[in-house]
Amino acid sequence: MPVFFLYFSQRLSLSQVLRLEAIYYLCIVLVEVPSGYFSDRYGRRLTLLIASAALFVAYVIFFFGDNFGEFAVAQAFLAVGLAFNGS
């Protein structure tokens, strides 16, 4: 994860990079417990499929993104992917 800070700082200001990190951590907090419930209710396989799809979307947006809004969406998808992967 520290590599993302360097990646963002090449394209965005320091305040925007810190806001992106805040978005990521807020999304982790909001999704972590529900992802565990989802895994218990619907199964680990479906949870991992959702995690993989969210991570794929995040990485595609990171690759093609070039502004704060796109990176913010990618950070949200990254948080969902990692939360569902760890449930």
Per-residue pLDDT tens digits for 63-87: 999 999 999 999 999 999 999 998 6
The residue assigned the tokens 């998808």 is 77
Which residue type occupies 75? Q
Q: How confident is the model at residue 1 (pLDDT cuts 50, 70, 90)?
A: low
> Where do the domains of the chain lie?
13-86
Average pLDDT over residues 12-31: 94
Q: How confident is the model at residue 50 (pLDDT cuts 50, 70, 90)?
A: very high
User: Cα(first)–Cα(last) distance of the chain, in Å?
Assistant: 19
